[in-house]
Amino acid sequence: MLPIALEKEIAESEHPKELAVDVMMAVQEQYGYLSDAAVDECAGLLGMSPLEVDELATFYTFLYREPVGKYVVHICDSVICWMDGSESIGEHLCRKLGIEMGQTTADGLFTLLPVCCIGYCDRSPAILINKKVYGPLTIAKLDEIIDGLKAEKNAE
Ligand code: FES
């Protein structure tokens, strides 16, 4: 179910397609990711074809066409972060979590994804976890963050 304000916006919009990203985000919020059924739902709401919605969904970094973990870790791999060691941050995360970039841990807790510059170059190397920025990172800080999230999960 979409937020009422968004439903109203769609109903009043001459070009609902312009709301595609907002609608996809809202639908993703509900299901955790954009399954084929969710893409069909978005298409119906926006008066678009599922293919058009799919093309947009695969273009946007924060829209997921596959299931993701509870914590989605986006590792900036653009030039400033790269110069400040993002490669070793990414490699360490892969080793620590036992997955490759683009994968989700077996317990469904973490997904690792690369991302282009997230606009926090002054905090490089930077990552986002569920869109919250962390940086400048060191391996020790990263361990603290990841271990903290694991502990939170275990306490639930
Ligand atoms: S290059 Fe990483 S935040 Fe800009």
- Domain spans in the chain, listed from the N-terminal domain onward: 4-59, 71-155
Give mean pLDDT, residues 63-76.
Answer: 97
pLDDT at 24 over 80: yes
Ligand 1 — pocket residues by CB below 6 A? 76, 78-81, 117-118, 120-121, 124, 126
Task: Judge whether 24 and 56 are in contact, CB under 8 Å.
Answer: yes
Q: Please give the number of the atom of ligand 1 that sits closest to the Cα of 123.
A: 3
Alpha carbon of 13 to ligand 1 centroid (Å):
35
Note the pLDDT tens digit of each residue in 119-137.
999 999 999 999 999 999 9
pLDDT at 78 over 80: yes
State the pTM of this model. Answer: 0.90
Q: What is the pLDDT of residue 116?
A: 96
| Amino acid letter, 60 | Y
Alpha carbon of 121 to ligand 1 centroid (Å):
4
Q: Both tokens of residue 44?
A: 């119906």
Alpha carbon of 73 to ligand 1 centroid (Å):
14
Task: Return the CATH fold of 71-155.
Answer: Glutaredoxin (3.40.30)
Residue (of 80, 69, 84, 71) closest to 129 by Cα position: 71
Alpha carbon of 81 to ligand 1 centroid (Å):
5
pLDDT at 45 over 80: yes
Task: Judge whether 3 and 26 are in contact, CB under 8 Å.
Answer: yes
Confidence of residue 66 (pLDDT cuts 50, 70, 90): very high
Pocket test residue of 113, 120, 133 for ligand 1, highest count of atoms within 8 A of CB = 120
Q: What is the pLDDT of residue 4?
A: 85
Note the pLDDT tens digit of each residue in 87-97.
999 999 999 99
Q: Please give the number of the atom of ligand 1 that sits closest to the Cα of 120.
A: 3
Q: Which residues pair with 127 in a beta bridge?
A: 75, 134
Q: What is the pLDDT of residue 5?
A: 83
